[in-house]
Amino acid sequence: MVECGFLQPIVLVTCIQPCYTLTMMIDKDNNLSEETESSSSIVFRLDPRSGVPTYLQLVQQVENAIRLGYLRRGDQLPRIRDVVTSLSINPNTVLKAYRDLEQKGLIGARPGLGTFVEAAPETVGLSELTTLRRSLVTGWLREAAATGLDEDGIVALFTSALGDFRKRPDEHRPTSRQSRVASLETGGAA
């Protein structure tokens, strides 16, 4: 199950758009038969203090889960009714988020069946992601916190470094990764 919200363990994910950041918690569980009514493998969590519109938080959580490989082609998203019930939000908010994701080519509705992930970008394997996540948490994040940076300072520093990284992509990453990012940004159509 992918949990996006404010539960343990914590993963800080900064979205691609520089004007929005989202703290998202992800915990991939191999046993998906837990407490969900539908067969979805994502649970949405909202941060009312973030200033990010609710529908955009939902969009970002799905995009990030796809980008990180937690959601794959064929995975079912929660039914609109289930999201509305669990988050106590307006159905139109969920419809807007799903419509936005559908327009990006990331998901598609199948009448009578539900909404499913249609994008299949090439991603790093879960074991590699787990290793990277662990080294980020026990290394860089721990060091940043030890210097006295609070969460907002860490996000600002990371966002700034990411901006520097984007300015010189050829110096930092192999060309195969550039095609992965381009594929996701175009909704799977490179």
Q: Are strands 114-117 and 22-24 parallel, antiparallel or unpaired?
A: unpaired
Instruction: For residues 6 and 65, state if they share a domain.
Output: yes
Instruction: Return d(Cα 108, Cα 53) in angstroms, integer.
Output: 22
- Measured in whole angstroms, the distance separating CA 144 from the mean position of its chain's CA atoms is 23
How far apart are alpha carbons 47 and 29 in whole angstroms? Answer: 22
Residues 152, 112, single domain; the answer is no
The parent domain of residue 168 ranges over 137-185
Domain identity same for 109 and 73: yes
pLDDT category at 75 given cuts 50, 70, 90 is very high
CATH number at residue 70: 1.10.10.10
Tell me the sheet residues that pair with 108. 116
pLDDT in tens, 84-124: 999 999 999 999 999 999 999 999 999 999 999 998 777 67
Question: In angstroms, what CA-CA distances link 36 with 33, 39, 57, 76, 128?
Answer: 7, 7, 20, 12, 27
Does residue 17 sit in the same domain as residue 111?
Answer: yes
**18 with 109, same domain?**
yes
Q: How many CB atoms lie within 10 A of CB 98?
A: 23
Encode pLDDT of 13-44 as tens digits. Answer: 433 333 333 333 434 443 333 333 445 678 89
pLDDT of 108 reads: 95
Q: How many domains does the chain have?
A: 2
